[in-house]
Structure 1
Amino acid sequence: MSEAALPDLFPGFETRHVETRSGSLFCRVGGRGLPLLLVHGYPQSHAMWHKVAPELAKRFTLVIPDLPGYGRSSIPALSDDHAAYSKRAAGNAMIDLMSALGHDRFALVGHDRGARVSYRMALDHPDRLTRVAVLDILPTFDYWRRMDRAFALKIYHWAFLAQPAPFPENMIAASADYYLDHTLASWTAAKDLSAFHPDALAHYHAFFSQADRIAATCEDYRAGATIDLDHDKADVEAGRKIDVPLLALWGGAGIAQSGETPLDVWRRWASDAQGTAIGGGHFMAEENPEELLQKLLPFLEKDA
């Protein structure tokens, strides 16, 4: 399906293309109130927020972008050091985006890869954030540290997508629709696609049908196995912590809940961390938007 024919999941929202250090970012902007940036994860796009955006827009001015290389945003060039796809580079692009839209300080909610960008922003740009929520992840450093047999089977894609190009790209492109649907379904509590609106799936399939965007998402994971891990290690070794108030939410049947309690981990990384599990799997904004809003709003509204 062409981009022009994709369903509009955010009626009443403005469409913007904003130039940043990582190229042009596509985003939707709408609502009223203090600014709130919502950052999606893999293998999705900004469309993943469509079930919670209407309620959040009653209280906040929402900025909902596609990450560099994803959806309809520009595709940074690949490189041997994977730096263009580091979470630091993506975070810098988000800072550029919010600055261009006139938001000096803002709240931030990220899911999956977007949550990795979010906690990196909290470490690199604490003066720009009022508070940050991370959905169904642990820090990259902790994921690699706990990669035993059981966890490796659960998140096999971390090692698969990080393999040298073009191996994972070619394997995925050979049956991209199957790979995408399997990935989405397997990370839900129900192990099917019932949580995903057909219009949202149309968005995900549209961008995942493009070979250069499949390559960009693989590069995202190569960065996660190299430069992102280096950045996390540097913070751990320096004793650096997140000082922005942090909320960690995870699916009861999600990815982050394996092993140690996620909140225990985040309390090692953040001086002011709270959090809890909610019902469902990894894709809580689509599997359980009502409970996600119940947990997010009290946290976000403390600054309203």
Structure 2
Amino acid sequence: MIRLPGFDYHRVRVTDDVALSVAVAGSGSPIVLLHGFPQTHLMWRHVAAELSTDHTVLVPDLRGYGDSDKPAETGADTYSKRTMAADIVALAQHFGHSRFALAGHDRGALVAFRAGLDHPGAISQLACLDVLPTLDMWDVLHGTAAAVGFHLYLMAQPAGLPEQLISASADAFFGHFLDLWIKDPAAIPGEVRTAYLAAARAAVPSIVADYRASAGIDVDHDRTDRAAGNRLTMPVTVLQQDWGAALGYEATALWSSWAPKLEHRTVDAGHFMAEEDPATVTAAIRALLER
């Protein structure tokens, strides 16, 4: 098992039936880093090490991923971002942090976004890497350009078929995204890639359930917040690739509707920017923590 050097590992029970695996290091003001798909907490290995020099850094595997528990999908809320956000707040509170900064990439960014809306008193600053909020993501996917998100539609299907199809060729499925979404393949060395594929292979039902929730209950939650005029009250930084032009939207405008204290910028790295360009990501998070 690959571990983050210098980090202590814990298992923390965040609900009656779910414990999260989390790596912890450093001292100072706390920040929690949430990984994306098809990764684990290891994606933060460079950024976490740097931030731990002057911050308390918590790097968990999300529920359903990595070494964290993978409860069976018993209802729409099992893997809702609301449920997963509550996990993270409970995790931070376990270590005595009632208020903390939060940064997420991809799926982790959607969890972070929901945490910011549901728990504004707990989240001091928020960073989201290379996503759109769930409601906006579905709104901008249309026509042939939406083919880039084929996995979103596959995993949105009722339980059974997507799990069967993906499990039958798990390494090819998850490896496809590790290859397609990266500009510098050397940023994910062989041993890390192997760890990602092994973790994803062991978590197909829960990963599909996470995505299925984003085509259902997560959209409902976003719509309710939009109708109520709820917005992110904390300083927010968004780092994204420049893929808005291909899909016909303006990312800054979409994010600004949710985050009035927004700093938005595009980066030259691929989707896995925390691994491809950790210096830029770390600098952006540090700047956010000063806001």
TM-score of the aligned structures, taking structure 2 as reference length: 0.95
Give the distance between the partners of 1:197 and 1:145, measured in 2 at CA.
35
Contact map agreement 1:256 1:262 (CA 8 A) in 2: no
Specify the alignment match of 1:262 in structure 2.
Answer: 251
Give the distance between the partners of 1:163 and 1:260, measured in 2 at CA.
26
In the TM superposition, 1:1-304 aligns within 5 A as 6-8=1-3, 10-21=4-15, 23-79=18-74, 81-189=75-183, 193-210=185-202, 213-252=203-242, 258-302=247-291
Alpha-carbon shift at residue 294 of structure 1 (Å): 2.4
Contact map agreement 1:248 1:262 (CA 8 A) in 2: no
Give the distance between the partners of 2:198 and 2:59, measured in 1 at CA.
18
Alpha-carbon shift at residue 264 of structure 1 (Å): 1.4
Q: Report the residue type matching 1:31 in the other structure.
A: G
Give the distance between the partners of 1:88 and 1:140, measured in 2 at CA.
12
Q: Deviations over 1:250-303 (max 9, x none)?
A: 124x6898432322111101121111011111110011112222222111234x
Secondary structure of the residue aligned to 1:165 is coil
Give the distance between the partners of 2:280 and 2:144, measured in 1 at CA.
29
TM-score of the aligned structures, taking structure 1 as reference length: 0.91
Task: Describe the shift of the 1:255–1:7 C-alpha distance in structure 2 as closer, same or farther (beyond 3 A).
Answer: farther
Give the distance between the partners of 2:182 and 2:253, measured in 1 at CA.
23
Task: Describe the shift of the 1:250–1:266 C-alpha distance in structure 2 as closer, same or farther (beyond 3 A).
Answer: same
Q: Deviations over 1:130-182 (max 9, x none)?
A: 10000001110011112211441111111011112221111111121111211
Secondary structure of the residue aligned to 2:98 is coil
Contact map agreement 1:110 1:117 (CA 8 A) in 2: yes
Secondary structure of the residue aligned to 1:99 is helix
Q: Deviations over 1:221-276 (max 9, x none)?
A: 11000000000000111111111111111124x68984323221111011211110
Q: How many residue pairs align between the two structures?
A: 290
Task: Describe the shift of the 1:218–1:20 C-alpha distance in structure 2 as closer, same or farther (beyond 3 A).
Answer: same
Alpha-carbon shift at residue 13 of structure 1 (Å): 0.6
Contact map agreement 1:136 1:256 (CA 8 A) in 2: no
Q: Report the residue type matching 1:292 in the other structure.
A: V
Give the distance between the partners of 1:124 and 1:97, measured in 2 at CA.
15
Secondary structure of the residue aligned to 1:215 is helix
Give the distance between the partners of 2:36 and 2:7, measured in 1 at CA.
21
Aligned residues: percent identity? 38
